């Protein structure tokens, strides 16, 4: 295989697959992206108004350091793709006063800029009592749907890239890297990347745990919109300190949820992506109960004045062992991101860079140089 022009097949056109395609194309490789639906696919778990990008994890310095580079990578992607989709409005989180110094020192060690914020500057946010808000400054909101559309459009204009919507993959042979499609044809690339989100477990045998999260989308009253302009995303909110919100960046809706509305499930049901929960859905009463709990948890103040536009739900997978995201080499030329974790959107450029590097190196070095399991997510 020539080192400078490998053929990479990516199964799945969510954020992982599309950004991997972008990075591999930029590295000079030939890329085919397959998706069972349209590209981008509204049923993908990446497909939502927005996702939050933050780096600080006070319990995990190494992960904070790694994630801090995502801020730079997303800004680079805006320049490469020629579109704006990352709004660095910051991310607030509230902490007990006695841990604030420790968090500040972790942030300094990780190279993350934070400052203690004044609750009065954010009158719409429901901070738990006796907590101190900390603002992570090099963080913010990614307009997720726009990322997917822009990346797909950019790939579509590259002569060395083929986008193939409506192509369901039914088998990936981890020994040979062959990819078999539902229409009976097969592809034999130099490198195969399985980026099929929660569906990945149909194609590769990796132990993952499926999570389902209920979300509520709200439209603020007109007189409060100026206050929301440039508002940060925020977490650890509400009466139990488990709520979070994504602000109405660029005319989107406010999205609210809570760690309490996230649970483990056996299988995906109904709409996926950020699908609206339909009234006749078998889980509708469960979803509506959770939505009501989110609405009454004091995550934002004066919530009665907001219009509830929809109740949605979405799924993501975690690695059964680490409870986080994981990029795994499942065969000599096959890699899979079956577990993306709850932060799988913001970390996608890190994964894409790692995979582009693997493709480039695999043309010149023996693939066995790469560890069998590499966790980077």
Ligand X SMILES: Cc1cc2nc3c(=O)[nH]c(=O)nc-3n(C[C@H](O)[C@H](O)[C@H](O)COP(=O)(O)OP(=O)(O)OC[C@H]3O[C@@H](n4cnc5c(N)ncnc54)[C@H](O)[C@@H]3O)c2cc1C
Residues within the interface to ligand X (CB under 6 A): 11-17, 34-37, 41, 43-46, 51-52, 168-169, 195-197, 199, 202-203, 213, 215, 314-316, 337, 340, 342-346
Output 184 or 226, the one with its CB closest to ligand X. 184
**DSSP labels for 143-173?**
-HHHHHHHHHHHHHT-TTEEEETT--EEEE-
Helix, strand, coil share (%) of the chain residues, nearest 5: 30, 30, 40
Shortest distance in whole angstroms from residue 58 CB to ligand X? 17
Output 159 or 184, the one with its CB closest to ligand X. 184
Kindly state the greatest CA–CA separation across the chain: 62
Going by C-alpha positions, the residue among 233, 205, 201, 219 that lies closest to residue 94 is 233
Shortest distance in whole angstroms from residue 203 CB to ligand X? 6
Output 128 or 324, the one with its CB closest to ligand X. 324
Shortest distance in whole angstroms from residue 93 CB to ligand X? 13
Shortest distance in whole angstroms from residue 170 CB to ligand X? 7
Shortest distance in whole angstroms from residue 181 CB to ligand X? 8
Rounded Cα distance, 82 and 280, in Å: 42
Output 104 or 164, the one with its CB closest to ligand X. 164
Output 14 or 126, the one with its CB closest to ligand X. 14
Sign of CA dihedral 178, 179, 185, 187: negative
Shortest distance in whole angstroms from residue 47 CB to ligand X? 7
Output 102 or 289, the one with its CB closest to ligand X. 289
Going by C-alpha positions, the residue among 349, 136, 368 that lies closest to residue 236 is 136
Output 144 or 303, the one with its CB closest to ligand X. 144
Rounded Cα distance, 21 and 204, in Å: 20
Q: Which residues partner with 258 through β-bridges?
A: 243
Rounded Cα distance, 68 and 59, in Å: 15
Shortest distance in whole angstroms from residue 6 CB to ligand X? 21
Rounded Cα distance, 295 and 249, in Å: 20
């Amino acid at each position: 295989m020539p080192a400078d022009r490998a053929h990479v097949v990516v199964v799945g056109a969510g954020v992982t697959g599309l950004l991997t395609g972008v990075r591999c194309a930029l590295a000079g490789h030939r890329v085919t992206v397959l998706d069972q639906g349209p590209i981008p696919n509204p049923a993908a778990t990446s497909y939502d108004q927005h996702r939050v990008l933050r780096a600080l994890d006070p319990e995990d310095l190494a992960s904070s350091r790694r994630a801090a580079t995502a801020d730079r990578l997303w800004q680079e992607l805006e320049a490469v793709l020629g579109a704006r989709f990352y709004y660095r409005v910051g991310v607030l989180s509230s902490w007990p006063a006695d841990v604030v110094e420790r968090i500040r020192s972790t942030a300094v060690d990780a190279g993350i800029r934070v400052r203690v914020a004044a609750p009065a500057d954010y009158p719409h946010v429901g901070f738990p009592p006796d907590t101190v808000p900390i603002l992570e400054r090099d963080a913010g909101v990614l307009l997720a749907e726009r990322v997917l559309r822009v990346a797909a459009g950019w790939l579509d204009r590259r002569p060395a890239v083929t986008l193939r919507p409506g192509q369901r993959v039914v088998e990936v042979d981890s020994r040979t890297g062959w990819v078999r499609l539902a229409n009976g044809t097969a592809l034999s690339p130099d490198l195969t990347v399985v980026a099929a989100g929660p569906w990945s477990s149909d194609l590769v045998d990796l132990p993952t745990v499926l999570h389902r999260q209920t979300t509520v989308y709200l439209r603020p009253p007109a007189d409060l919109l100026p206050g929301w302009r440039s508002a940060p995303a925020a977490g650890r909110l509400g009466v139990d300190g488990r709520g979070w919100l994504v602000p109405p960046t660029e005319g989107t809706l406010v999205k609210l949820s809570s760690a309490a509305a996230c649970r483990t499930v056996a299988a995906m049901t109904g709409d996926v992506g950020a699908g609206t929960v339909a009234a006749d859905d078998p889980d509708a009463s469960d979803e509506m109960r959770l939505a009501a709990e989110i609405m009454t948890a004091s995550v934002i103040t004066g919530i009665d004045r907001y219009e509830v536009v929809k109740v949605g739900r979405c799924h993501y997978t975690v690695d059964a062992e680490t409870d986080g995201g994981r990029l795994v080499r499942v065969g000599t030329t096959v890699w899979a991101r079956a577990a993306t974790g709850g932060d799988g959107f913001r970390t996608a450029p890190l994964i894409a860079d790692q995979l582009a590097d693997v493709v480039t190196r695999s043309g010149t070095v023996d693939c066995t140089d790469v560890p069998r399991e590499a966790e980077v997510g």
